[in-house]
């Protein structure tokens, strides 16, 4: 589709010459003889870029630029001047002009400016797409009573500086809650740093959190800031805090009390301003009783407790989640877009989901990859569910796909190939996406005899 350009100038010769040049270059061009008509045409045409003369009878170009920027702050406007001065250039820039062209217009300069300006448009559009992609990926989806109650709590606690402890089973979406708290807080423009305490070996967790100085231990080849320093001014999300070592817990407690960190091997305390949000799938009261978690740290973290409900307590949200994942996976992961039959959604709603929302998302992804037709049907769900559906009496003969074990082997192999292809054979990223250790992914690759050319 051709880019749209609007030319606003009270000189017919300028409108004609510039219009012909732009049309010859393949742009869709409209013109207006004065600023008032130019503003009206902008609303109708919605151009990607505007050329506007500064000196025009009636409403001049600078005032028109100011009005245009009020209604559309993203408008890209190049001003045209017959006798530009430094004062004029400053006024135009302050009003939001992208650039200024002087008459007589130079063809090469116009084309170079157009290329640069439209690259700016493309970059802005890509940034917006990425923001929308991130927001949709971390969106809390649901209309059930328990989810509405949770979002109400998030809206109340997010604007405050209070620490939050998020509890819930694996796969319920604790990270989404943490991100939502950050997004609706005064710190939203600053960094959100996540640390998975269960994924970092105990001997490295303190270096990860507090940083280290060069030479402080074997492998410390340079000074390195920790996550507390990196999150200064923003939010630090300590996921699976129940798996943190007792020595690291003691240091975290000190940071929460004093607001300072000291790198390993360092002597200079560094002041940090960090909001800590923690999450766990463990019963911390039980961990305290067994001597595995510090009671004083628990009370420091548990200022506002939030519980994320398991999927079995919000089954009415499953249809919304299924369609949300279908859209997100097709758009972001490049999987084939498919619709889903109501009967298939109902069957998914009836199943148990011990892995909660994460398991449901993985199931929807498998269905997108393995469904036999343009729509996901009840048959597709029954085949994928396999043994679980067989045990509940919800599936008929499997003679058309061989034994269950044969189907399971083929389905799992195809799914792993798709994930490896998605992450360009990066085993670490694939393991993270599948929520499993890298060693398990390597074992599966060996089990299915996969090679890079397969993915």
pLDDT tens-digit series, residues 250-293: 999 999 999 999 999 988 899 999 999 999 999 999 999 999 99
d(C-alpha 395, C-alpha 391), whole Å: 9
Q: Extract the tokens encoding 280.
A: 């766990």
What pLDDT, in 10s, does the model give residues 374-410? 899 998 888 877 644 444 443 333 334 445 555 556 6
Mean pLDDT of the chain: 86
**C-alpha–C-alpha distance, residues 324 and 249, integer Å:** 38
pLDDT in tens, 300-318: 999 999 999 999 999 999 9
Average pLDDT over residues 326-336: 79
Tokens, residue 327: 């859209």
Assess whether pLDDT exceeds 80 at residue 356.
yes
pTM over 0.85: no
With a pLDDT cut of 90, the percent of the chain lying above it is 54
Q: Report whether 79 contacts 60 (CB < 8 A).
A: no
Q: How far apart are CA 79 and CA 15, in angstroms?
A: 14
pLDDT for res 125: 66
Quick one: which H or E segment has residue 52?
strand 49-53
Pairing, β 211-212 against β 224-225? antiparallel
247: nearest Cα among 173, 197, 178:
197
Residue 1 clears pLDDT 60, i.e. is over it: yes
Q: Tell me if 51 sits within 8 A of 5, measured CB to CB.
A: yes
The whole-number average pLDDT for the span 21-48 is 93
CA distances from 362 to 235, 287, 351, 395, 419 (A): 28, 31, 14, 21, 11
pLDDT at 390: 41
Structure confidence by residue, pLDDT tens digits, 413-438 = 777 877 887 777 888 878 877 777 77
Q: Give me 377's structure tokens.
A: 């049907």
Handedness of CA 178, 184, 185, 186 (dihedral sign): positive
Instruction: Report the DSSP pairing between strands 339-340 and 235-239.
Output: unpaired
Burial class (CB in 10 A: 0-12, 13-18, 19+), 316: middle
Phi and psi at residue 298, to the nearest 5°: -55, -45
């Amino acid at each position: 589709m051709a880019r749209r350009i609007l030319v606003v100038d009270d000189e017919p010769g300028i409108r004609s010459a510039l219009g012909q040049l732009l049309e010859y270059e393949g742009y869709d061009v409209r013109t207006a003889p004065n600023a008032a008509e130019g503003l009206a045409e902008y609303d109708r045409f919605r151009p990607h870029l505007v050329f506007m003369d500064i000196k025009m009878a009636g409403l001049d170009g600078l005032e028109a630029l100011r009005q245009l920027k009020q209604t559309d702050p993203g408008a890209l406007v190049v001003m045209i001047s017959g006798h530009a001065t430094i004062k004029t250039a400053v006024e135009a820039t302050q009003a939001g002009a992208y650039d200024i062209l002087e008459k007589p217009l130079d063809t090469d300069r116009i084309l170079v400016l157009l290329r640069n300006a439209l690259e700016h448009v493309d970059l802005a559009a890509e940034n917006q797409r990425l923001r929308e992609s991130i927001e949709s990926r971390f969106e809390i989806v649901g209309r059930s009573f328990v989810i509405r109650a949770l979002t109400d709590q998030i809206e109340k606690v997010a604007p405050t500086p209070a620490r939050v402890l998020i509890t819930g089973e694996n796969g319920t979406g604790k990270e989404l809650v943490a991100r939502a708290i950050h997004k609706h807080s005064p710190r939203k423009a600053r960094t959100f740093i996540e640390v998975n305490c269960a994924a970092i070996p105990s001997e490295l967790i303190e270096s990860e959190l507090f940083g280290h100085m060069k030479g402080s231990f074997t492998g410390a080849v340079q000074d390195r800031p920790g996550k507390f320093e990196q999150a200064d001014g923003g939010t630090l999300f300590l996921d699976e805090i129940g798996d943190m070592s007792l020595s690291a817990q003691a240091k975290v407690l000190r940071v929460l009390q004093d607001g300072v960190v000291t790198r390993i091997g360092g002597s200079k305390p560094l002041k940090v301003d960090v909001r800590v949000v923690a999450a766990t799938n463990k019963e911390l009261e039980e961990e305290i009783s067994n001597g595995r978690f510090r009671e004083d740290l628990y009370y420091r973290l548990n200022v506002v407790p939030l519980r994320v409900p398991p999927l079995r307590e919000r089954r009415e949200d499953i249809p919304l989640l299924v369609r949300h994942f279908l859209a997100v996976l097709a758009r972001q992961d490049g999987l084939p877009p498919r619709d889903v039959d109501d009967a298939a959604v109902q069957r998914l709603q009836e199943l148990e989901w011990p892995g909660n929302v994460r398991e449901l998302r993985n199931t929807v992804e498998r269905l997108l990859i393995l469904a036999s037709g343009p729509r996901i049907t009840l048959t597709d769900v029954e085949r994928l569910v396999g043994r679980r559906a067989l045990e509940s009496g919800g599936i008929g003969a499997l003679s058309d796909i061989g034994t269950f074990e044969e189907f399971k082997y083929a389905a799992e192999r195809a799914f792993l190939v798709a994930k490896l292809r998605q992450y360009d054979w990066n085993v670490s990223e694939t393991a993270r996406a599948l929520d499993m250790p890298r060693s398990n992914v390597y074992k599966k690759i060996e089990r299915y005899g996969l090679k890079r050319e397969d993915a």
